[in-house]
Each structure stands twice: as structure tokens, then as C-alpha cells.
Amino acid sequence: MNSGFKHSSSPRGTSAKAESGVKPPHSKFSPDVPSRVIHGLLLDELAAALRALGAPVFRAQQIWRWLYVQRVTAWDQMKNLPAELRARLAERFDLQAAAAREITGEPGAAQKILVGLTDGECVEEVLIPAAERRTVCVSSQVGCKFGCAFCASGQAGFRRNLSAGEIVGQVLLAATAYGNRPTHLVFMGVGEPLDNYDEVLRAIRIVNQPDGLGLGARRITLSTCGVIPGLRRLAGEGLQVELSVSLHAPDDALRARLLPVDRRYPLPELLATCRDYTVQTKRIITFEYTLIKNVNDAAGQADALARLLAPLSCRVNLIPLSPVAGFAGEPSLPETAKLFIRTLTRAGLNATLRDSQGLRLHAACGQLRIARL
């Protein structure tokens, strides 16, 4: 597996330490005993690691509770463990893969956290509180390869995948900021989750563990720009996660201009794959459609979208564009957005128009990171 400490230190590693309080890579480990962020282990792997240390397996459950129920940040806080075991664990594993470098927004409203990683890289996460929900929107990669025209995440290119421990670390930072465990998790931050398949799935399984963070699969949403091999694999996982597919255009000519991935995985194949996915998993897919003034919001485009999606069991989520530097587009006018949704609804589609501060913040994911590079 990937470890949060495997990556080589960037020139900014030292300053990241000062800013974030995260230890630099290999701070206390010899190179032949790679350190590992403990939050990247599945429960059965933790049990195996304890067996290897000669400790009884029931310790795994105890440690799991300290990590994900009490959410301790120091080994010494694991009071029911023998001091000697704590010391050996501290030698082998690290407790922190991610640290909050900067938080914007006020508690109780949407907040964005700039997340510092141990090698000096950073990503973003967004907290979106609502009545009964504490949603966290996490990043899956440092930067992005996919270069969608209106998305800030890929503007500075791709740096690396996040490890599962770094993804789980973001959920733990959200728990700290909320003062409670998040109830919903969405992979809509920086990066393409299906391009970091193994670590994302591992993170999902870790946070899904009932006696830990206990995030039910149906409260976890994975959003993809349409990476077909990843979608096919996901269909066979037997997981009940929610799936969002970023569509943004009803035809390949426009979609390829907005989402270069469309050239590799064009709409007919993508929609056929989505259809297979719904048949195999019996789950409904949500299609994300960012409304951009005079680009993809004409009545004819709504008709074309309705025809395209008619054979699928799906929802459509319309989101007005969040303006980003480097993309000249503007959000659709409210009247146009209303007309667009009415066309979809009349055609029998289940469509919602969303425009909240939290969504604007999450849609603008990547901008804070870019601003701080």
C-alpha cells in the first residue's frame, strides 16, 4: 500500500513542518523500516500488524476505537494499552498524515480547509453543514490530470495520488472542525477518485467500518468525470456508495471542449457503462451538470440532455458555474436555469437545481490551493 511517508520530501517540506505541525517524512524511521500512517490500514491489517508485534488481536479493536471513536492524536492517550506496546506502535506507525494549515469560513457555515501533507504538498477539503448533516468533501489527488476547462483543481497540473491514510486524515480533520464525526462524505474535492482507485476504495472501507467512523456506504458519494474502466470496476465491488458522473454537456463536441476526458471516453460508451452500472448495482446514478451561460444552458440542450438520459435510472444535479480564474464562462442566469430544469422535469427526469454557499465553495475546489502555491 501507499504510505503517507513514502513520497520524497519537496523543497517546501521544512516550511510545511513549521506551518502545519506535520512531521517531515522519515523523521524518526530508518529507511529500511518504512513508516506508515496508521489510518491507511484496514481493521484486519491492523490486527495482522499487532500479531506481528506479538500483541493479542483484541488490541486491534481497542486501537481502532481510539483512532476513530475517540480520535486521539497521541499514542499516550491510548490509556488501556501497555506502555511498551504504545512505544512499539509509535516506532512503526505515525498518527498524523494531514494537518489543517488554514481554515476559511465560520464554524456552523461552510468552511474550506487547506490541508498540509507530510511532504509539503497540500490539498483542500470543504465542510458543508446542513440541518442534520455534517458533510465533508475530500480530495483524492494532489492536483488533477484531467484538465476540465472550468475546474481549478487541474490548473497547476498533477502532482501525485493521495494515500488512503491521507484521505482518512481529511475525514478526521473534518471531525475535529465539526466537533463530531461527519455524517456524509463526498469525493468532490481536488482530483479524480477513479484515477486513484485502490487508495480511494481503501479509504472508503476504512471510514465505512461500523465500530469506527461508521460512515454508511450510502452516505458516501464518489464523483467521476467519466473514467470508464474505474466505473466498470466499481460496479463489481458490491458497495452501496452513491455515484455521481460529471456530464456538463449533452453532446461529444461540446463535452470534449469542456472535459478533455470525453475524447478518450465519449458519451455513447460512457452512458452505456452507466447503464450497465445501474443494472448491476441496482443503484441510481446522479449526473452533475454545471450550468454555464450561453455554453450549455440553451433549451435545445436541455431537450438533448433529456433524450440522452431517458433510458437511464438517474437523477440530474444542476449547479450554476462557480467562476474561476482562467475560464471566461459565467453562471447561467437564474431564469435560464429555471427554464432548463423545467424542460428536464417535463421530460420525466428527476432534476434539482442547487445553489448554496457550501456548493459554491466545493465547486470552486482547488482555488485555495492554487492561490497558495
Footprint of ligand SAH (CB under 6 A): 148, 150-151, 188, 192, 223-225, 246, 288, 290, 319, 321-322, 324, 363-364
Active site residue 124: yes
- State which amino acid sits at residue 250: P
Residues 77, 70 contacting (CB under 8 angstroms): yes
For residue 274, the surrounding DSSP H or E stretch is helix 267-281
Pairwise CA distance, residues 78 & 187, whole Å: 30
Count of other CB atoms within 10 angstroms of residue 268: 10
Cβ distance to ligand SAH smaller for residue 215 or 247: 247
Q: Which three cell numbers stand for residue 133?
A: 448533516
Q: Of the residues 124, 166, 192, 288, which is catalytic? A: 124
Q: Least distance to ligand SAH from the beta carbon of 258, Å?
A: 9
Told to judge if 151 belongs to the known catalytic residues of this protein, a careful annotator would answer no
User: What separation in angstroms does the CA of 356 have from each of 28, 112, 191, 321, 329?
Assistant: 45, 14, 22, 12, 19
Length of the chain: 373
Query: What's the CA angle centered on 154, arms 117 and 121, to 5 degrees?
Result: 15
Q: Are strands 122-130 and 111-117 parallel, antiparallel or unpaired?
A: antiparallel
Q: What are the catalytic residues?
A: 124, 365
